[in-house]
Structures are given as structure tokens and as C-alpha cells.
Amino acid sequence: MKKTSTRLADGRELIYYDRRDDSVRDAVDRRPLDPTVTTSEVRRDPLLGDSIAVASHRQGRIYHPPADECPLCPSQGDRLSEIPDSSYDAVVFENRFPSLAGDSGRCEVVCFTSDHNASFADLTEEQTRLVLDAWTDRTSELSHLPSVEQVFCFENRGAEIGVTLGHPHGQIYAYPFTTPRTALMLRSVAAHKEATGGENLFDAVLERELADERVVLEGEHWVAFVPYAAHWPYEVHLYPKRRVPDLLALDEEARTEFPQVYLELLRRFDRIFGEGEPPTPYISAWHQAPFGALEEFEGVNRDDFALHLELFTIRRTSGKLKFLAGSESGMNVFINDVPPEFAAQRLREVASS
């Protein structure tokens, strides 16, 4: 992998990730852009104990542009985009309309491929490995920023999820705090460790899932399963079999196998609802240990956390979505219409050829 860092016309960082070491990336951003102005602010809720970001400048972000005006495609002639070069393998750049900025963290966009009409599932294993290496590199770099406590790599796919740009891409949020969902996990890990005299909760969960009927697919180094208490209609968790706290700690064997397992999982997601159905909308989310202090989670350190990816769709059946209504949005109590055992069986049935 070759990494080339440059700057866009408004000063934002852009990084090319190339498979070839002889790639040259010297194209200049020719757009007449003003310096980026953001209004990001993090506010803490005293009752719930969590934090939210206020980012009013995002109201002006690009919304469903036509394909020939996509800002994530390479620049061609007089059609100038966020990527100055006329081609790329993978690229990461600072979001022009970030939810988090400055002392409130950082937001980046990850373009998986220059092909506007592709999806992540269409990537080759070599290209998927490049994206994995880019996620890992950005996790490392962002973790060293003084304002960052946790790095979150994710992909939103599909209009139903709220995606406003059709080009295959994901995002990276570098939070200035430990996210509420991760804090819940760490509290559960701490309680289990104390109650069992030191047993790791992630290890216990993985051992139970490996022995159950909800395993979807399994490799030598990774396993994917529908969790016992899945929140979403079709939800799969992908774990490395060797517990590591973050992407940085994956060994070469796990990195090599990941593209095979992950691409197969994504392709099965597109087959869940049968032929002729539109692509399955999904969220794919990496969970990594925070880089900040963990004193509030007594007895827990970073190595107690288990890196894993959660992949889920809000489509519950053909033509119908799962909405977060009163119980989910008001009380955070999910009601799942699809039994996890059925979801796992369906995902095993639709194995790609």
C-alpha cells in the first residue's frame, strides 16, 4: 500500500491509498473554495449522561446530486470534485460538512472505489484489503489527536438509511468522548469480570455463539453470527476469533482472511429478500476500544474489549422497513419482528456461488 497525503483548495486533508507503489498523486484541487467554516459543538445531557453534537452548518451539505455531478467521483476535465486526480484506488478526506471538528473531534469520508455504480460487495479481495488497511491507518493517525478518545469506521448504504450520496463510500468519526454504546459494553464487561473472578464477557459470548445455531459463516480467523438478542430484523456480528481491542492489533492472517469473509457476508445480505429486490440497505459499523482513559470502568483495560463489526438492515421484509417508533425511540427498548434463528437460517440459505 502506498499512502499520499495532500491538501484540498480549502485546506482540508486528502489521502490517496494505492495498491501500486509507483502511483503518483500530484493533481491539484482547482476549485475556488473558501476556507471551511464549521459550527460543531458537543453538549452533554445531564440526565442521560451522554453527549450530542450540534452542527448547524450541515444543513447546507450536498443532497442527492445527479451522477454526473457526484463529488466523490474522480475529477474529469472541467468537472471538478472532492478528488482532484482523474482516478484513484481508495481515498480518505476531511468531510466538508463535519458533525465533529476541531476540539470536538474530526469526521472523514472514505471512498472505497472510483466506480460510481459499484457497491462494497462488488470490490475485489485486493481492493477490500486496501480499504481495511486505510481504516487501520486512519484509526492509528486519529487516535493520536489530543481531542480524540474513540475512532468509529462505518458505512451507511441505501437511501432508506438516509444516504445522500450514491457513490460507494463510508465515514470515520473521531469522537472526543467514549460513545454511549461502547460505555454500555464496557460496564457490562466490568460487571462480568468482577462477578466471575476475571472472565472476559466477549470471550464468553463468542464461545456461546460458536456453539449455537445462529452462526452464519465461519473461517479460520473470523466468525459471523446473528446475536441471541439481535435488535434489528437481520443483524450479523463479525468477530476475529482472537480477541483484539482494535484494527491495529489484527495479525496478518486475520487481515488476509477478512476480505473473503466480509465480501461473502455483504453478498448474502443482497440476497436476503430474493431476486428482483432493490439492494439491501444496511449499516456496517466497526466497534473498537476507546483510546481515552477507562478509569470509570473499574478493573477494565483496553485489552478487555473485543474488536468486532456489526452489520444490520432496517428492512424487515420485502418492501417494508423497521421503524424506530415509541418503544425504540422513546425508551430504547427494541422489538424485533424477525427471530434471530430465522435470520441466521436465511443468511445461510443465500450463500453466494
How confident is the model over 296-324, as pLDDT tens digits?
999 999 999 999 999 999 999 999 999 99
Residue 353 predicted with pLDDT over 60: no
Confidence of residue 191 (pLDDT cuts 50, 70, 90): very high
- What pLDDT does residue 352 have? 62
Residue 119 predicted with pLDDT over 70: yes
Place of cell 422497513: 321
The gap from C-alpha 303 to its chain's centroid, in whole angstroms, comes to: 21
How confident is the model over 221-233, as pLDDT tens digits?
999 999 999 999 9
Task: Tell me which of 169, 192, 221, 308 is the catalytic residue.
Answer: 169
How confident is the model over 120-144, as pLDDT tens digits?
999 999 999 999 999 999 999 999 9
How confident is the model over 89-114, as pLDDT tens digits?
999 999 999 999 989 999 999 999 99
How confident is the model over 331-349, as pLDDT tens digits?
999 999 999 999 999 999 9
Residues facing residue 237 across a β-bridge = 225, 310
* Percentage of residues in the chain having pLDDT higher than 70: 99
- What pLDDT does residue 26 have? 96
Other C-beta atoms lying within 10 Å of the C-beta of residue 334: 13
Pairing state between β 222-225 and 308-313: unpaired
The gap from C-alpha 347 to its chain's centroid, in whole angstroms, comes to: 21
Q: What mean pLDDT is predicted for residues 226-247?
A: 98
Contacts of 211 by beta carbon, 8 Å cutoff, 6+ apart:
none
d(CA 115, CA 260) in angstroms, rounded, equals: 20
Q: Which three cell numbers stand for residue 274?
A: 430474493
Q: What mean pLDDT is predicted for residues 151-165?
A: 95
What does pLDDT average to over the chain? 95
Q: Is 64 a catalytic residue?
A: no
- For residues 180-206, b (16+ Cβ closer than 10 Å) or e, as one string? eebbebbeebbebbeeeeeebbbeebb
Cα Dmax for the chain: 65
Q: Which three cell numbers stand for residue 4?
A: 499520499
Q: What mean pLDDT is predicted for residues 5-9?
A: 97
How confident is the model over 46-89, as pLDDT tens digits?
999 999 999 887 876 776 788 789 999 999 999 999 999 999 99
> What distance, in Å, lies between the first and last C-alpha atoms of the chain?
30
**Alpha carbon separation from 73 to 53, 126, 132, 300 (Å, rounded):** 29, 20, 20, 44
